[in-house]
Amino acid sequence: MKKQILIVEDDPILRDLTRRQVSKLGFECIVVKTGEEAVDQTAPEIGLIFMDIGLPGIDGVHATMLIRERELSERKQRIPIVALTGHADKQRVMSVGMDDFLQKPAMMADIKTMIEKWLPAESSLDMQHRRG
């Protein structure tokens, strides 16, 4: 089963833009607005998370820490998390367990690069499917 991509973004315009970009690349996505929802969505079918940092309530940094704690305590496979932000310190987001970093608004080429980097098997399967 192909892995899904979780998009965590509170801004409706950026949320829709990112969703459309991921969908155009051939991936199914789940879209949520809050850090709390992100923590609740870490199911086995999620292969990659694009996480906004500036979320209301539990922000992206805290949500990442909670996801990492759950992965450890439940012995779950680690899901790559890519920070989406316009202003956060890269060192800070990487230090809490995020795997990569994209400036917002993320361009299609950058999103594609992140998917290829963090879901390489899924990306190559998708490219073969599109050619066939």
DSSP 66-88: HHHHHHHHTTPPPPPEEEEESS-
* CB-CB neighbours of 44 under 10 Å: 10
CB 7 within 8 A of CB 18: yes
CATH number at residue 96: 3.40.50.2300
**How many residues are there in the chain?**
132
pLDDT classification of 129: cutoffs 50, 70, 90: very low
What is the pLDDT, as a whole number, of residue 93? Answer: 79
Domain ranges, residue 40? 4-101
**Domain tally for the chain?**
1
Could you read off the pLDDT of 58-105 as tens digits, one per residue?
999 999 999 999 999 998 889 999 999 877 677 777 888 999 999 888
In a domain, residue 60? The reply is yes
Could you read off the pLDDT of 105-124 as tens digits, one per residue?
889 999 999 999 999 776 55
| Residue 42 identity (one-letter amino acid) | T
In a domain, residue 111? The reply is no
In a domain, residue 86? The reply is yes
Q: Please state whether the peptide bond connecting residue 105 to the residue before it is cis, i.e. omega within 30 degrees of 0.
A: yes
Residues 51-66: b if buried by 16+ CB within 10 A, e if exposed? bbbbbeebbbbbbbbb
Could you read off the pLDDT of 19-61 as tens digits, one per residue?
999 999 999 999 999 999 999 987 888 999 999 999 999 999 9
Task: Please give the DSSP secondary-structure letter assigned to residue 26.
Answer: T
In a domain, residue 117? The reply is no
Residue 1 has pLDDT above 80, yes or no: no
Percentage of the chain beyond pLDDT 90 is 67
What is the pLDDT, as a whole number, of residue 132? Answer: 45
4-8 and 46-52 beta bridge pairing: parallel
